[in-house]
Amino acid sequence: MSLTLIGSPISPFVRKINIVLLEKGLDFEAEPVNPFSPPDDFRETSPLGKIPAFRHDDRIVNDSSVIARYLDRIEPNPALYPSDPFEAARAEWIEEFADGGLVPVIGPGIFQALVLRPMMTGAEPDEEGAQKVIDQDLPPLLGYLDDQLADGEFFVGDSLSIADIGVASPLVNLRLAGVVPDRDRWPALHAFTKRMHARDSFQAVISPITRGIGKRWVDLN
Ligand SMILES: N[C@@H](CCC(=O)N[C@@H](CS)C(=O)NCC(=O)O)C(=O)O
C-alpha cells in the first residue's frame, strides 16, 4: 500500500492528516505542494486547489476531514472516531469548530500577519493588526474549547479522537506566532495544548517546523 500526503507542513489541515497517519503508525511519503504556487496540473489532483490532497496507490482523496475519515476506515486502530453515534458527532463537531472557526482566525489574522507574510515578503510583522485579533476574535473560540474540555483529558470520552487532533493542529500555528491559550484564563485548554504537543506524533511534526520558522515559538512549562 502506497500512501502520499500532498501539501505543506505549515498548513494545519495537512498537519491534521500527518498526525492521523503517525498515530495510526502508517508509513507514508510527503509530497510538498504550496497551494499558492501549485504545479500546473494540481487541479487534476485537488479540484479546489487546496491542500491536503491524499494519494492511496493510484486513488486520490481530498479534504482533510474526508481523508481523516478514510484513514480511520482503512486502518481502524487506534479508532479516532468514537463508535457511539452522539460521541462521534461531538468529535466531528469539535473538528469542524477547529477547521471552520479556529483556522480562519489563527491563519490570516495571527499566523500570516506575524510569521508567514514577513517570511515570504520581508514585510514587517503586523503586530497591531494581530493583537486586535488576539484580543477580540480569539478569546470566544478559546473560551468555548476550554468549556468543552472541562476537566477531561480529551475532548470526547477517554481516548484520543479526531477532535483533539483537529484542535491541537492549528494551535501549533498559534504557538509559532508566539501565542498560547492563557494558563489562568483557559487552564484546561492550556494544559491540553501542552499535553497534545508533547505527544510523539506532534513532536515529530513540530521539531522540523520550529527549526525553520520557530523564531516566535513559545515554550510551555
Ligand atoms: N476544508 C479543507 C480546507 C483546506 C484549506 O483551506 N487549505 C488551505 C491551506 S491551509 C489551502 O489550500 N488554501 C489554498 C486556497 O484556498 O486556494 C480541508 O479541510 O482540507
pLDDT, tens digit, for every residue of 9-59? 999 999 999 999 999 999 999 999 999 999 999 999 999 999 999 999 999
Tell whether ligand 1 has an atom less than 6 A from the beta carbon of residue 99: yes
In three-state secondary structure terms, 13 is helix
For range 186-207, the mean pLDDT: 98
Q: Parallel, antiparallel, or unpaired for β 59-62 and 3-7?
A: unpaired
Q: Which three cell numbers stand for residue 1?
A: 500500500
Protein residue closest via CA to atom 2 of ligand 1: 63
CATH number of 85-213: 1.20.1050.10
* Residue 28: predicted pLDDT: 98
* Residue 115: predicted pLDDT: 97
Protein residue closest via CA to atom 12 of ligand 1: 50
Which of 33, 37, 50, 102 should be mutated for ligand 1, with most atoms under 8 A from CB? 50
CA of 46, closest atom in ligand 1: 12
In three-state secondary structure terms, 152 is coil
* Residue 83: predicted pLDDT: 97
Q: Is the pLDDT of residue 144 over 90?
A: yes
In three-state secondary structure terms, 6 is strand
Q: For residue 203, what are the contacts with CB-CB under 8 A and spacing of at least 6?
A: 197
Spatial distance between the Cα atoms of 219 and 221, rounded to a whole number of angstroms:
7
C-alpha 145 – ligand 1 centre gap (Å): 22
* Residue 177: predicted pLDDT: 98
For range 134-152, the mean pLDDT: 97
Same fold yes or no, 3-74 and 85-213: no
Task: Domain ranges for the chain, please list them.
Answer: 3-74, 85-213
Tell whether ligand 1 has an atom less than 6 A from the beta carbon of residue 17: no
Tell whether ligand 1 has an atom less than 6 A from the beta carbon of residue 64: yes
In this structure, which amino acid lies at residue 2? S
Tell whether ligand 1 has an atom less than 6 A from the beta carbon of residue 49: yes
Q: What backbone phi and psi angles, to 5 degrees, belong to 185? A: -80, -40
Tell whether ligand 1 has an atom less than 6 A from the beta carbon of residue 63: yes
Q: Is the pLDDT of residue 209 over 90?
A: yes
Query: With bands split at pLDDT 50, 70 and 90, how would you rate the model's confidence at 193?
Result: very high
Q: What backbone phi and psi angles, to 5 degrees, belong to 41? A: -95, 20
Q: For residue 108, what are the contacts with CB-CB under 8 A and spacing of at least 6?
A: none
Q: What digits encode the pLDDT tens for the residues 68-121?
A: 999 999 999 999 999 999 999 999 999 999 999 999 999 999 999 999 999 999
* Residue 221: predicted pLDDT: 73
Please state whether the peptide bond connecting residue 78 to the residue before it is cis, i.e. omega within 30 degrees of 0.
yes
Please spell the DSSP secondary structure of 108-131, one letter per residue.
Answer: IIIIIIIIIHHHHH-PPP-HHHHH
For range 198-209, the mean pLDDT: 97
CA of 52, closest atom in ligand 1: 20
Tell whether ligand 1 has an atom less than 6 A from the beta carbon of residue 13: yes
* Residue 3: predicted pLDDT: 98
For range 159-171, the mean pLDDT: 98
Q: Which three cell numbers stand for residue 157?
A: 470520552
Q: Parallel, antiparallel, or unpaired for β 53-56 and 3-7?
A: antiparallel
C-alpha 187 – ligand 1 centre gap (Å): 30
Which of 8, 11, 13 should be mutated for ligand 1, with most atoms under 8 A from CB? 13
Q: Is the pLDDT of residue 161 over 90?
A: yes
CATH number of 3-74: 3.40.30.10
Average pLDDT, the chain: 97
| Four-point Cα dihedral 109, 218, 11, 115, nearest 10 | 50
**Beta carbons of 54 and 62 less than 8 angstroms apart:** yes
